[in-house]
Structure 1
Amino acid sequence: MSAPVNTFKEALQKGQTVIGCWLDLRSGYAAEIIGYAGFDWLLIDGEHAPFDVTITDAQIQALLNSGSHPVVRVPVGETWMIKQMLDSGAQSILVPMVESADQARQLVRDCRYPPNGDRGVGYALARASRFGTVENYGATADREICLLVQVENRKGLAALDEILTIEGIDGVFVGPADLAADMGHIGNMSHPEVQKTIMDTLRKIDAAGMPAGILTSDEKMIRDSLKAGARFVATAVDIELLLSSARDSASKWKNEVS
């Protein structure tokens, strides 16, 4: 028996476009609910949400039978963090603030077993191998891991050409909020200069034959990103969905009785 097929990676390799949602609510129960909403993939946000290993592990578990593929964003590209997420059963990892080709190369090694990488060999005790029941896991795991790197400032953009040539990088995600801030337009991703940079970057990634990704709930930006070649696109955030729906309900019925 081999490592489970990574359906998210497989879809990207086939040139398909997949639609996702960000998970920032600190709840496996909430993750499971969103998992049945029909998104192709869900991003467990370990960078900005108050997640620890235990909660992230619970969300991965909650999504196992949902049909939505879990992608885990680690807080920072540290080997030990990536190792824990992979052993917990995550097959797709997004690393924020990638600023150099050397950093990207080390991330590839973090996701691979020796002799091609630095991932610790402890899979017999981990969910990744179904607790040792996937007998051929160690020999087959590397090919099913999907490594996505996040380019979100001017340093990252300067290194992008070289990053795009690195074997083992499976996609490049453009971080619009941090990029806008680094360009001097914090909180204003719609600034024309920022939008031009984002779309030019997506086109460059796509032209290099690499899947490009982005997060935005702005409909125009979603359409523009898809036209520019983005292929893994997150269109919503669970917190925003909950707050928006709650506000609409409260406003509607308060207006009815006022």
Structure 2
Amino acid sequence: MPTNPSFLDRLNGGPSAVAAWCGLPDPTIAALLARENFDAVIVDMQHGAVDFSNALRAVPLIAGAGKPAVVRVPVGEFATASRFLDAGASGVIAPMINTIDDARRFASFMKYPPIGERSWGPHGALSLTGMQAAEYFPVANGLSVALAMVETREALNIIDDILAVPGIDGIFIGPADLSIALSQGAKVNPLSAEVEEAIDYALSRVKAAGKVAGIYAPTGARAADMVAKGFHLVSVASDSAYLRHGAQMALAAARA
């Protein structure tokens, strides 16, 4: 049986999955966090310091802890999505999906025909799932979760069309970039009323489409708010934030 045979079913079936966010390059950090009580681990190649090699090494370490590995690829690098699926990643987040063509191209690398155009070569996925090729291929499209990021006015305006693209399993919201877009570059405020309204609107459209909604939350308290709203996947802060917070707590106790 696969290590994570139905991550998409898990997201759809609830409760909300709470994920760690990793931007530091050493894959052992992702491995450590996978051993904590997170439901998934997201490796960030867009803004983090993680390169392809280290992200690739993180995937089996996360899966080895029995957790889904999700990778956020750099902007426009849709072909990289297939390589991570081949390695055994359970999902891919693609940033800056602002057009229907963006969504279609992303989906094409995430799904095998007839839905997409993903080519054959799941070397790591076969090993991690324990499946033979003949077993893996018929179910593979259901094992790969394709999340298109919605973080601009353009994406919000066509969110129904993005969700309707075959092979797109849902969206992932970046509140900080969304706040920049909605304020026309005036500020970064992911907690603004305008962003909150956009988040609620996007979530309602995802639920109407019967798909998955994910979001980044900078703190545990904010993550709890997003869980309460009904998001399927909520990432909490980041590995560097965990490190700083832990250091601050230890120092405060030592110097009390």
Report the TM-score when normalising by structure 2: 0.88
Question: 1:135 is matched with which residue?
Answer: 133
Partner of 2:151: 152
Residues 11-26 of structure 1: pairs in structure 2 closer than 5 A: 11-26=10-25
- State how 1:10-159 maps to structure 2 within 5 Å: 10-123=9-122, 126-130=123-127, 134-136=132-134, 137-159=136-158
3-state SS of paired residue (1:117)? coil
Q: Which moved more, 1:2-11 or 1:161-170?
A: 2-11
Larger Rg: 1
Residue in structure 1 matched with residue 213 of structure 2 by the alignment: 212
List gaps (5 residues or longer) in structure 2: none
More deviation, 173-182/78-87? 78-87
More deviation in 133-142 or 72-81?
Answer: 133-142
The list of structure 1 runs, each at least 4 consecutive aligned residues, that deviate by more than 6 angstroms after superposition, is none
Q: Which amino acid aligns with 1:164?
A: L
Q: Deviation string for 1:81-135 (max 9, x for gaps)? A: 1122112211211111111222212222111224542222233xx2122299723
Amino acid corresponding to residue 162 of structure 2 in structure 1: I
How far the C-alpha of 1:226 sits from its partner, in A, is 2.8
Identity of aligned residues (%): 30
Higher alpha-carbon deviation: 11-20 or 34-43: 11-20
Please identify which structure carries the higher helix content. Answer: 2
Contact 1:74 1:82 in 2 (8 A): yes
Task: State the aligned residue count.
Answer: 252
* Alignment match, 1:202: 203
8 Å contact kept, 1:17–1:232: yes
Structure 1 length normalisation: TM-score? 0.88
Residue range with higher mean Cα deviation, 6-15 or 46-55: 6-15
CA distance in 2, matches of 1:157, 1:218: 24
CA contact (8 A) 2:72 2:92 kept: yes
Q: Deviations over 1:140-176 (max 9, x none)?
A: 3222211111100101101102112223221211110
The one-letter code matched in structure 1 to 2:85 is L
Q: CA RMSD in A?
A: 2.3
Q: Which runs of 5+ in 1 are unaligned?
A: none
The correspondence of residues 237-248 of structure 1 with structure 2, limited to 5 A, is: 237-248=238-249
